[in-house]
Amino acid sequence: MRDDERNAQPKQEKREHEALKFYYTPMDEARADDSESNPHAKGATRIPDVIKALVDEFGDVVWNVETYAGEDTVFVEKEKIREVCQFLRDDLGFNYFSDCGGIDRFTEDERYEMFYNLVSLERGKRIRVKIRIEEDDLSVPSVTQVYRAANWNEREAYDMLGIKFDGHPDLRRMYMPEDFEYHPLRKEFPLLGVPGSLPLPPQTPEGELTMDPFAAAHGSKPTKSYLEPKSDYADDTDNE
């Protein structure tokens, strides 16, 4: 292939600019008579005996219980989440840690939330435990000492929301660079990123960093790889 053919830009059809559509999903209010509408519940998530055992053991630490679509959710004080998990595993048989994650509720009080999904394989029961977190106190006890599988889930919540887990054995960012100052799953984080906040590597060793994760959306057009100058590190046989 000749150089002029290799560097020629592909022909593109001219299209009219079309703004992206915004899809809004309204949030339904919880309905007490909706227990039959969740085909996945199947009785595994109704756990009144487990809730009673938690209340008997921890009292006011269990400060709320919600039932929606056939699923029970137990809210506990965040300072006792590790002890609650220990009791659920050792005394009530919830020996499988399914997952946990963080939520930005974007409210003035108790803005953040952590959920923990636990399973008793022997009893065929599931429980969802939640804690609420104030924005000015983002420290939460890590449950990795009870469930080792929580390690990467807690790191993800730390990276994306900035929630800190006391006692975590290796609390580092998971997706973003360590010096990245933002948390992309917080509601105020722009969908198209923050220009200049995240340098991306060049497409060739001699190329320049791209200082914008969505350069085209912000009016900049990085050089296409096939238009960049030939790299000194490239093998001459690559172009034959």
Q: What is the pLDDT of residues 22-81, one digit of tens each?
A: 455 566 666 666 555 666 667 888 899 999 999 999 999 999 999 888 889 999 999 999
Is the torsion defined by CA of 172, 177, 183, 185 positive or negative? negative
The more confidently predicted of residues 192 and 213 is 192
**Residue 212: inside a domain, yes or no?**
no
Q: Residue 68 maps to which CATH number?
A: 3.30.460.80
Whether 21 maps to a domain, the answer reads no
Q: Long-range CB contacts (< 8 A, 24+ apart) of 7-10?
A: 7/226, 7/227, 9/224, 9/227
Residue 65 confidence (pLDDT) = 95
**Nearest Cα to 96, choosing from 150, 171, 40?**
150
22-31: long-range pairs with CB below 8 Å, 24+: 30/66, 30/68, 31/68
Q: What is the pLDDT of residue 74?
A: 97
Confidence of residue 10 (pLDDT cuts 50, 70, 90): very low
State the pLDDT at residue 36.
55
Domain-embedded: residue 111: yes
Q: Is the pLDDT of residue 204 over 50?
A: yes
Weakest-pLDDT range from 90-99, 136-145, 177-186: 177-186
Q: Is residue 123 part of a domain?
A: yes
46/114 Cα distance (integer angstroms): 20
Q: Report yes or no on 109 lying in a domain.
A: yes
Is residue 239 one of the residues assigned to a domain? no
Token pair 């060793």 is at which residue?
Answer: 205
227 within a domain of the structure (yes/no): no
> Which of 105-114, 188-197, 221-230 is the least confident region?
221-230
| pLDDT for residue 113 | 97
Closest CA to 189 of 226, 165, 214, 168: 214
Q: How many domains does the chain have?
A: 1
Beta strands in 69-136 (DSSP E): 71-76, 96-104, 112-120, 125-133
pLDDT tier at 235, thresholds 50, 70, 90: low
Domain hosting residue 61, numbered range? 48-188
Q: For residue range 126-177, what is the model confidence (pLDDT) as tens digits?
A: 999 999 999 999 999 999 999 999 999 999 999 999 999 999 999 999 999 8
Q: What is the DSSP string of 119-167?
A: EETTTTEEEEEEEEE-TT--EEE--TTT-TTHHHHHHHHHHHH--EEET
Residue predicted with more confidence, 209 or 79: 79
Strands 139-141 and 96-104: unpaired
Mean pLDDT of the chain: 83
Backbone angles phi, psi at 114, to 5 degrees: -120, 135
Residue among 204, 193, 90 nearest 147 (CA): 90
Looking at residue 96, its pLDDT comes to 97
